[in-house]
Structure 1
Amino acid sequence: MVRASRKMLAIALTTAVGLSSAMAAEIEEIVVTASPIRDSQQAAISAKRDANHVTDVISADTIGRFPDQNLADSLGRVPGIAIERDQGQARYINFRGMPFRYTAIGFDGIDVPGAENGRIPRFDSFPAVITSRVVVNKAVLPSMPGAAVAGYVDIQTVSPFDREGAAFDADIGAGQQDLGSGGIEKLSLRGTWSDDNLGVMLFGSKNSREQITDNHEYKLAAGATGTQVNQVQFRSYKVTREDEAYGGRAEYRMEGETLSRTFVSYLYSEFVDLEERNHYQVNFATKPEGNTGSNLPVYIDQLLEYGRYDNSTQTATLGADLELSDWNVELRYNDTQTEFNTFLPILYNSGVNFATRAPSLTQASYDISDVLNPQVTLAAPLASYTYAGLYAYKIDSPLDVDAKKLKVDMNRDLVFAGLPSKLSMGLAYDQRKARGYSAIQFDIFAFDPSYTLSTTDTLNVKSFDTGQPWIGNTANALGANYYDNKGLRQAWEAQMSVAPTVSDDQLVAIDEDIAAGYVMMNNDYAWGSVVYGMRVERTNYSSQGNISGAAITVKDDFVNVLPSVHVNYDVSDDIKARFSLTSGLNRPTYTEWRAAAVIDPTAKTVSGGNPALQAEESFGLDASVEYYFARSSILSAGAFTRQISNVIYESTSTIDAGIYGDLFAGQVWELDGYVNGKDGKLSGVELNFIGQAADMLPALEGFGVNLNMTFLDGEFTEINGKTSGLPGTSDFMYNASVFYEDYGLSVRLNYQYRGEWISPIEDPSEVWGAQKRLDMNIQYQLPWDLNGALATVYLNANNLGNETDVRYAGNGYVNQAESYGARYLLGLRVNM
């Protein structure tokens, strides 16, 4: 990891030397702005003001002036958008309190599949180096994908024509995770060159973080006299997370020609999570009640693992722009491949013999008075505990999506009904193939090939005890040591396969074709503009699976008509009002839509995918008022609502078994999986203020404030009539940042708060507690003459409050608490 970073740094220095001479003639043209925060905010606010629909814009420079680890962090400061983290790192976004998959993602106007389950965007693999700006479309136009129920995030990449001649940017940093002293490395490089016609851009980025996650999980319930304590889990994860991205763009422009522009672009972005699990489960055999207990019988489980999570997006686009008479025509062909993999080979040292059900008991005392710092002490040292059996718990879940897209967009200016207008229309055809499986195997005889019920430890697991005590924010009352999980996995692989056996009923095989067309008109009035139109999408899919050894294929097609209207009214020179009516749809994820399932014809039960799921459909209304009271300032308020039908959720329900074979037609079976509920609704209010103090008090030159808050309310009705909250909806959330910028110094403090919300990742009944984060960024532009180059040193500090994130079970009791410590990064940014 360090070797790779040094190699990239050497390339950076070599490239910089070459480019500096090429730029010699251009140096006099460089203008150093005194207020990059103000300037970048002004550019983003101007783009928002000029838009013909409800949108927000983040400039790349604004991203660079916050302590962002990835684009999810950046998006989390947009009004109405909340972050969901994994082990402290921003990963998903809930767009206006809606589920992850209601958000569509694209690059330069080309929407691509979400890397997770074909629908859910993963923002932890996209670094800032690829972006020119990020456009957050909250009320989508007919020209945008219909799958943007919540909104459409368009990541606009850097153009080689953004700066004349040759240019080079480098960002290198190193730091430390406070908990465990894990190393942090950051490196990004970008070079561009252009003349009047030809432009070329290349970029590369690599980041790595080593951290320890201090985690406790619980199984608590209400007892007759107090809290019933069933289980307390102690987990310490050693995690190495890496993301890298590379790619480029070549573009040729021919002004005044019929073929005015051609380009080819390529992006590869990958996120890798290498995880060492050290995990103990203390099970209380008598299910005691109360916050404390002494000398109680317990049995202990030990789970050890060296596993890997990764996801990647590879996307290439070939484009051409033509000027045909009065028409501007854009032709695009895109090829995108996404991969999403989870591979967790877990050694399960159990306190219970799963063949005989006999436990291995010892004595323990507990104290959960401080549930975030539970204390369990054993009567004998943990290392002396005798486990009842060693088993293999294997998880392997890959999903590859191959997507091809052909897109044609046309527009022309005209006079329509006496009004200056623009007519736009387009066609798009998507062809997607998803292949994968989801295999989970608990093999109780993995280390007992003779099936004698006398499980033996052929690995000698205890020999991999390093003797190093756990590191954490909480006390190591259990007396646990770290194990050499990497060495243990190597020893396991030397004896047998660590991967599960994949059966046909675990496969995912879906083909999906989407044909779309739209017509849109933009009429300009003296008082503003009206944009209206319609998008039509036809979906044709087939899902192949296997039921009880027999191959089946389920096919279906459907058409969605998606109208929208957007009114933009200039109340005055400084005040703009907007009103939008929009519609959209959300197709099931590929895991949900798979035909493969495990069925029991005798018990009439099904567990697995549901190929009969209907797409969710939505109708939305947005209204907002924006007051641009200064060049780089705004005060705005907005309200919105979404009505959603056919809400998809995980449940146990009844279905017609005929979808799994003609033999079962007309029979009513019980499905444990994904179903369509009834109608759902969500509404909210967004308030946003961006202000420069000097616009009101000139004596406060350099100071500024950003503040936004969102109020949300959402619910849906299940099949049984029960009303439940929508996943991802926090009742209240806000972002606040204050900054000072002058004399080359920039200091920014940012605070985020998010109220509790339902998270469906592990259990749809679980609720994350309120979360808050305090981050800081300090930058100083060096005043030295560097042959025209600008150099900035910076310090990023994340999670300064050393927060503990808490999750609750459906019964209201805490079932998880985890902490990670603060994170610090010192870096140097060079622009030339």
Structure 2
Amino acid sequence: MIKFKRNRLSLLISLSPSLVLAGVALPGMAQSVDGSAAEAVEEIVVMASPIRDSQKAAIDAKRDADNNVDVISADTIGRFPDQNLADSLGRVPGLAIERDQGQARYINFRGAPFRYTSLAIDGLSIPGAENGRVPRFDSFPSVITSRIDANKAIMPNMPGEAVSGYINISTFDPFAQSGWAVSTDVGLGNQQLGDGDIEKLALRTSWSGDNFGFSLFTSENSREQTTDNREYGIERDANGELLVNELDFRSYKVTREDRAHGGRFEFRGDGAVERVFVSTLYNEFQDFEERNQFVFDFAGGADAVGAPQVSGEVGENQFALVGRALEYGLYENSTFTNTLGADFALGEWLLESRINFTETENIMYLPMPRSEGGFVMASFDVSDLYDPAVSDLVDFATQTPVGINDIQYSARGRLGMQIGSEMSIDATKFKLDAERDLMLFGLDATVKTGVEMDSREADGYGMVLAMGEFPAEINIADYATDKAWDSNFSNGITGATYYDNKALRKAWADVAGGLNLTPNDSQAIRLEEDVTAGYVMVTTRYDWGNLVLGARAENTDYLSEGPTGNFEDSFTHVLPSAHLNVDLAEDVKLRMSVSTGVSRPTYSEWRGDDMVDFIQSTVTAGNPELDAEESLGADLALEWYAGDASLLSAGLFTRNIDNVIYAQSDYIPGDAYLPDVGADGWVYTQYINGSNGKMRGAEFNAIAQAADFLPALDGFGISANLTLLDSEFETRDGSRHSLPGTSDSIFNASVFYEMEGFSIRLNHQYRDDWLSTTENVGMTDYWAEQQRVDLSVSYDLPTPVLGADVTLYANANNLTDEQDVRYTGDESMPNQVENFGRRYLAGFRVNF
């Protein structure tokens, strides 16, 4: 990668020899000008053997691709019990899921931070809904797509910011089926913990004639669930004995809804104008959350009376300060993208032009009545750290037993707390691509070139916390119900019941004349970014395969506004790449590639001022002078097409990454920062650049149909992949850490059987521990290993019903009732454990 910044030239010439094999065969197609799959295999149309048909199409497409790309078809998605696209992508070799309250949300592409993945809709990259860079996959339901392309070896016609991967979501093509077509998917289910309802509805219709076609689709999903959560403040004393400083019990009643609507209107001509279309897609995710929370501060209770704090796993009659929080809030994100496109045949050239307008929003608002200053005697038992207990509550003042809902809190401890953040991004993109075939040095070749202009404006504010006095005329105790907490834990808090948080919030809003959160100037984020890119690439075909050579240049201009001034900068990256595809034999292919990339800071990191939280005495410093992260890497893949619908592959990859962005936190005295405020001290967090980042790994994939090896077992098959990963980077003080998101190993396996319309698939997903974030002191917070076992069963009715093909299906998720755990340092020190139970869904699909 060659980088120009402020007229200073630097040539990155260090490339660690690396081999990348990401040999994965999933439904895919040959690449078009914009890097998305060609339309020849737009959807997998299944008959008697849907799993086998999908895998065969995948293997055929993989063999023809010019780069290392995994493609998931609509039918493959439909045959898994997936809630959203993150679930689906988590089955691809090298891709791992990060969940929120049990639901897939983010993708760690080859163990990389979320920001290293670029997301596109129909070949046009869009801003990440979170901080401009981070794709959120929980808002994209699986049923709206015709396929997903997961590109691992990045070509010049793909965004340079795809350091670890480039994911392209293709919506439905109205010309995939001539005439009228209607399909629907209806499902009902149950979330076991809390007995929550699950509803699923999808409808798509399309029509196409000789020259004109359109498609329309809508999707609505709703999931009610309970998440039972335990959080901890524990440490070890000088003798290695456990100190239980704080136990935090939470029960979340959650309703998560996602919806998507869109369509395409398209004209296809026979002359110079080959295609003109307009497409639109709106998708939205909303998380309505009720939190019931009790915090027992044993360290604070002992300190309040000057008593020594007991050590050990069990403590009886210990002093404890108690806090309570009762929240009803909302998390939501949305993407609204609209594209006008036209394709032209001008002599020997094929031109594709696109104009796109995209709006994203990411909003969090959590109004939370808090009660502080409760004082009790209580016993705790953490002999099972994953199932703590608090019992035997005694009111400190009266020395009488007290129920959890009858604790008396300090009059000064009635607080109305509001937490929020918000960011909206408006993006305008123009893209023009051209390609033609020609003879180059006596060889068949294809030249592709293009330009792209992407302009974005971000506006919003970072995390804001406002605290005031809760209205005295509202008696919170009146909102307690007699409904006990839903829980999979054996222990907990004796007598804990839910509050009517919705009614409590309404009463608060009525008394206060409405609730609102007003950020101060230091919390605002206002940023403008313009990226202008151009590329050229040449594919030369030989008897033994092909060679793709090219480069992409991206110029970035940005302006970061702050209350004390603005900061602007401009820099250019030149990103070369090379891809060699060799047919070693009729059924064996070798792929080698070298590629470069760039990851720009998120908008929160790039903002032009410090965000000051006067309540908690914390400062989060934006840094508009951050350098973009730069990567240089290589891939090697070996693929054996072992049968008509079977594939074995193995490979290696590496990425060297410079300027790794991380957050460093320090404690500074109050007189060193804003001394007029009078704070004792501040926790000061600043985004800075580290160095010497590395990602490397090996991927192994097997897709095997028994019919290709043992015809007597026709109908049986397996699909399994294993990824081994390693990553690290160096901070400014010389310490080394893994990149957030890197598990040492990721494993997926499916066993399936299908025959005469019936199919059953049992799937297992596993990933081991990984660093959850770099935004904490010491970077010691980890997710513990996670696994999921899911089952999907379907049956295609043998005869049409009123002229329609009907499929009945049933899905079961998290069959082994797993819980998710986070810890600090090592697994003996958990800081969060949460349960959510099993999930069941049954329904039918109808296709006319």
TM-score, with structure 1 as normaliser: 0.90
Aligned to 1:438: 462
The whole-number CA distance in structure 1 between the counterparts of 2:366 and 2:344 is 50
- Residue 23 of structure 1 is matched in structure 2 by none
Matched, 1:407 2:431: yes
Residue 609 of structure 2: aligned partner: 596
Query: How far apart are the structure 1 equivalents of 2:259 and 2:655?
Result: 36
Q: Aligned pair in 2 of structure 1 residues 32, 690: CA closer, same or farther (>3 Å)?
A: closer
**2:236 corresponding residue in structure 1:** 222
What amino acid is the match of 1:487?
A
Aligned amino acid, residue 320 of structure 1: A
Find the counterpart in structure 2 of residue 491 from structure 1: 507
- How many residue pairs align between the two structures? 766
Q: Does 1:338 align with 2:355?
A: no
Q: Quick one: which of 816, 821, 827 aligns to 2:843?
A: 827
Kindly indicate whether the alpha-carbon contact (under 8 Å) linking 1:230 and 1:288 is maintained by their aligned counterparts in 2.
Answer: no
Deviations 1:266-323 (A, max 9, x none): 0000000000000110110234311111011011110110000000010011000001
Match runs of 1:246-325 below 5 Å = 246-255=261-270, 257-284=271-298, 285-286=301-302, 287-325=309-347
Verify: 1:478 aligned to 2:494, yes or no: yes
Residue 633 (1) aligns with residue 649 (2): no
Query: Contact between 1:105 and 1:152, CA under 8 Å: does it hold in 2?
Result: yes
Instruction: Note if contact 1:802-1:821 (Cα within 8 Å) is conserved in structure 2.
Output: yes
Inter-partner Cα distance in structure 2 for 1:81 and 1:294: 47
Once the two structures are superposed, the pairs formed by residues 649-668 of structure 1 within 5 Å of their partners are 649-652=662-665
Higher mean C-alpha deviation, range 797-806 or range 752-761: 752-761
Equivalent residues of 2:587, 2:640 under 8 A apart: yes
Offset of residue 416 of structure 1: 0.8
2:123 to 109, 115, 122: 109
SS in 2 for 1:679: strand
* From 124, 149, 152, the counterpart of 2:163: 149
For 1:304, give the aligned amino acid.
L
Residue in 1 that maps onto 2:218: 204
Which string of whole-angstrom CA distances, capped at 9 and with x for unpartnered residues, describes residues 62-84 of structure 1?
A: 00000000010000000000000
**Distance change in 2, residues 1:598/1:785 (3 Å):** closer
Name the CA shift for 1:649/1:761 in 2 (closer, same or farther; >3 Å). closer
1:628-654 Cα deviation digits (max 9, x unpaired)? 111211100010000000000111379
**Is the counterpart of residue 84 in structure 1 residue 101 in structure 2?**
no
Runs of 4+ residues deviating >4 angstroms: 761-764
Assess, with a 3 A threshold, how the Cα gap between structure 1 residues 815 and 606 changes in structure 2: closer, same or farther: closer
The CA deviation at 1:394 is: 1.1
Instruction: Look up the SS of the partner of 1:125 in the other structure.
Output: coil
Deviation at 1:395, TM superposition (A): 1.0
Secondary structure class of the residue paired with 1:42: helix
2:483 pairs, out of 450, 468, 472, with 468
Distance 2:632 2:362 in 1: 31
Does residue 816 of the first structure (1) align with residue 832 of the second (2)? yes
Structure 1: unaligned runs, 5 residues or longer:
1-29, 352-359, 448-455, 661-668
Q: Secondary structure at the match of 1:361?
A: strand
Structure 2 CA distance, aligned partners of 1:702 and 1:133?
24
Which residue of 47, 66, 88 corresponds with 2:61?
Answer: 47
Cα displacement (A) at 1:599: 7.6
Correspondences of 1:366-445 after superposition (within 5 Å): 366-377=380-391, 378-379=393-394, 380-388=402-410, 389-443=413-467, 445=468
Whether contact under 8 Å (2:120, 2:167) holds in the other structure is yes
Residues 336 and 761 of structure 1, relative CA distance in 2, 3 Å threshold: farther
Greater shift, 35-44 or 272-281, is seen at 35-44
Distance in structure 2 (CA, Å) of the matches to 1:364 and 1:653: 35
Q: Distance in 1 between matches of 2:845 and 2:743?
A: 36
2:611 and 2:161 map into 1 onto residues whose CA distance is 30
- The 5-angstrom pairing of residues 505-544 of structure 1 reads 505-544=522-561
> TM-score scaled by structure 2?
0.88
Unaligned runs of 5+ in 2: 1-43, 303-308, 395-401, 674-681
Partner deviation per Cα, 1:200-239 (whole Å, 9 max, x = no partner): 1000000000000010000110123411100011000000
1:585 CA displacement: 0.4
Amino acid of the structure 1 residue aligned with 2:209: D
Instruction: State the secondary structure of the residue aligned to 1:33.
Output: coil
1:128 aligns with 2:145: no
Q: Which residue of 2 aligns with 1:450?
A: none
Contact in 1 for aligned 2:438/2:444 (Cα 8 Å): yes
Query: Residues 636-785 of structure 1 correspond to what in structure 2 (within 5 A)?
Result: 636-652=649-665, 672-760=685-773, 763=776, 764-785=779-800
Q: Is the Cα–Cα contact under 8 Å of residues 740 and 774 in structure 2 kept in the other structure?
A: no
Distance 1:760 1:477 in 2: 30
Determine if contact 2:381/2:390 at 8 Å carries over to the other structure: yes
Moved more, 219-228 or 741-750: 219-228
Q: Note the C-alpha offset of 1:158.
A: 1.0
Instruction: Give me the whole-angstrom Cα distance separating, in 1, the residues matched to 2:483 and 2:117.
Output: 44
- 1:368-416 CA deviation, whole Å, 9 max, x = no partner? 1111111110232112211121112211111000000000000000011
Letter in 1 for 2:405: A
- Structure 1 residues 593, 54: closer, same or farther in 2, change over 3 A? same
1:162-210 CA deviation, whole Å, 9 max, x = no partner?
0111101000010100011100000000001001110110000000000
Separation in structure 1 between the aligned mates of residue 810 and residue 225 of structure 2, nearest angstrom = 19
| 1:633/1:91 CA distance change after superposition, 3 Å | same
Q: What amino acid is the match of 1:411?
A: E
Q: CA deviation at 1:150?
A: 0.4
Measured at CA, do residues 687 and 481 of structure 1 come closer, stay the same or move farther in structure 2, by a change above 3 Å? same
Q: Please give the secondary structure, in 2, of the residue aligned with 1:145.
A: coil
Structure 2 contact 795–809 (Cα < 8 Å) conserved: yes
Q: 1:50 to 1:654 in 2, by over 3 A?
A: farther
SS of the residue 1:438 aligns to:
strand
Could you say what secondary structure the match of 2:585 adopts?
coil
Label 1:606 to 1:237 Cα distance change in 2 as closer, same or farther (>3 A).
closer
Letter in structure 1 aligned against 2:816 = G
Q: Is the 8 A contact 1:214 1:235 kept in 2?
A: yes
Question: Which residue does 1:67 correspond to in 2?
Answer: 81
Letter in 1 for 2:703: I
Tell me how far 1:761 sits from its aligned partner.
Answer: 8.1
2:679 is aligned to none
Q: Secondary structure at the match of 1:106?
A: strand
What displacement does 1:348 show? 1.2
1:501 to 518, 541, 552: 518
SS state at 2:627 partner: coil
Q: How far 1:671 moved relative to its partner? A: 5.7
On the 8 A contact 2:160/2:575 being kept in 1, the answer is yes
Change (3 A) 1:78 1:605: closer
In the alignment, is the contact (CA less than 8 A) between 2:548 and 2:579 conserved in 1? yes
For residue 12 of structure 1, what is the aligned residue in structure 2? Answer: none
% identical equivalent positions: 52
Q: 1:31 to 1:67 in 2, by over 3 A?
A: closer
